[in-house]
């Protein structure tokens, strides 16, 4: 079994009185595609910046390959590549010039720069654009160039901070195809995202909310660990029903999914039985229901809405949760 490459113990970060990160403890094995998931402002970027040695932890310890992420930050930097959220390359330089600049910054031997640049240009489908200025590239190709620059020194660990944010489905898929290829070649990937469908693509995920680690595990284990079951109900009109259901005691949430309503309830069996005996909404039509399997969005909602309590790497249920 691969050893842990990244280890965090009670890692915390404050900005004034605000707790951006609150005592996060977890480990990530070498070779993983680890997805760090959460809403905007949850603490994902703060975590990745501390791991990259760009900001000092307020408390706690973090290590990469046994080296302290702050004290040994200059030694660690040659081992990883980092792609931030915001395009941070030089817009007035060409694609090729950006690659050569970052190769020099990462101290790639001059005799190897040409071959490595050719390789990453090919891998990122940038060969036909190497003379274009970076600032004139589309959003998708800017991201591919940023990743190319982060890979020019052949790191064994790659940090990607929301690499697909704002991209169209084609470029999102291209980024994930690249992540798979890098992982197959032995690169460990730490990727932050707020897209729950991307959680399914990771070998392991961690959910963060309000600076706290809510859950961590494989997508399969997290879905199987969600106690209870899910029921989607068909009701018309669906939008009106969603707001009506959210007012009911015992219902934690109601969300529209593909035209159906997926409800999160304290005891869905009792609720469903009561509806079958007496439907209390004269302005709504109950058309049927389907029991369904939970997905990663359901898991995230269960943790973030407080159905489960955070407990480090192995969250324990606050109470048995069933979902309609």
**Residue 37 pLDDT greater than 60, yes or no:** yes
Residue 217 CB partners (closer than 8 Å, separation 6+): 204, 205, 225, 313, 314
What is the percentage of the chain residues whose pLDDT exceeds 70? Answer: 93
How confident is the model at residue 170, as a pLDDT? 87
**Residue 67 pLDDT greater than 80, yes or no:** yes
For the record, the structure tokens of 187 come out as 């690169």
Q: What is the pLDDT of residues 120-130, one digit of tens each?
A: 999 888 999 99
Other Cβ atoms closer than 10 A to 314? 10
The CA dihedral of 257, 261, 262, 263, to the nearest 10 degrees, is 150
How confident is the model at residue 121, as a pLDDT? 93
> Distance between CA 251 and CA 233 in Å, rounded?
14
How confident is the model at residue 290, as a pLDDT? 86
Q: What is the pLDDT of residues 69-116, one digit of tens each?
A: 999 999 999 899 999 988 889 999 999 999 999 999 999 999 999 999
Mean pLDDT confidence for 31-43: 92
Q: What is the pLDDT of residues 176-226, one digit of tens each?
A: 999 999 999 999 999 998 888 899 999 999 999 899 998 899 999 988 876
How confident is the model at residue 226, as a pLDDT? 67
Rounded to a whole number of angstroms, the distance between the first and last alpha carbons of the chain is: 38
**Residue 311 pLDDT greater than 90, yes or no:** no
Confidence of residue 323 (pLDDT cuts 50, 70, 90): very low
Please check whether residue 322 is in contact with residue 231, taking contact to mean a CB–CB distance below 8 angstroms.
no
Q: Which domains does the chain have, with CATH numbers?
A: 4-217 (3.40.50.300), 224-323 (3.30.70)
**Residue 243 pLDDT greater than 90, yes or no:** yes
Regarding predicted confidence, which is higher, 190 or 1?
A: 190
Q: What is the CA radius of gyration of the chain?
A: 23
Q: Where are the alpha helices (DSSP H) in 4-135?
A: 44-51, 73-76, 95-105, 110-123
């Amino acid at each position: 079994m691969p050893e842990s490459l990244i280890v965090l113990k009670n890692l915390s970060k404050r900005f004034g009185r605000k707790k951006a990160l609150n005592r996060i403890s977890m480990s990530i094995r070498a070779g993983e595609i680890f997805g760090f998931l959460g809403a905007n402002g949850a603490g994902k970027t703060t975590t990745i910046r501390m791991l990259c040695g760009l900001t000092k932890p307020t408390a706690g310890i973090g290590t990469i390959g046994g080296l302290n992420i702050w004290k040994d930050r200059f030694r660690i930097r040659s081992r990883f590549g980092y792609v931030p959220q915001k395009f941070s390359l030089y817009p007035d330089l060409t694609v090729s010039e950006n690659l050569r600049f970052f190769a020099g910054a990462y101290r790639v031997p001059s005799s190897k720069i040409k071959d490595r640049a050719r390789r990453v240009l090919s891998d990122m489908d940038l060969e036909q654009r190497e003379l274009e200025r970076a600032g004139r590239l589309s959003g998708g190709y800017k991201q591919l160039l940023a990743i190319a620059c982060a890979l020019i020194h052949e790191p064994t660990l790659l940090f990607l901070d929301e690499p697909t944010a704002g991209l169209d489905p084609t470029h999102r898929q291209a980024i994930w195809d690249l992540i798979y290829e890098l992982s197959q070649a032995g690169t460990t990937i730490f990727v932050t995202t707020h897209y729950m469908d991307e959680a399914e693509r990771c070998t392991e995920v961690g959910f963060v909310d309000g600076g706290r680690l809510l859950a961590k595990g494989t997508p399969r284990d997290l879905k199987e660990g969600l106690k209870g079951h899910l029921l989607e109900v068909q009701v018309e009109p669906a939008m009106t029903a969603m707001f009506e259901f959210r007012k009911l005691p015992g219902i934690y949430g109601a969300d529209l999914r593909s035209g159906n309503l997926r409800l999160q309830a304290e005891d869905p069996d009792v609720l469903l039985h009561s509806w079958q005996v007496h439907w209390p909404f004269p302005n709504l039509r109950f058309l049927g229901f389907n029991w369904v399997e939970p997905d990663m969005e359901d898991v995230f909602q269960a943790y973030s809405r407080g159905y489960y309590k955070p407990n480090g790497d192995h969250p324990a249920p606050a109470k048995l949760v069933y979902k309609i």
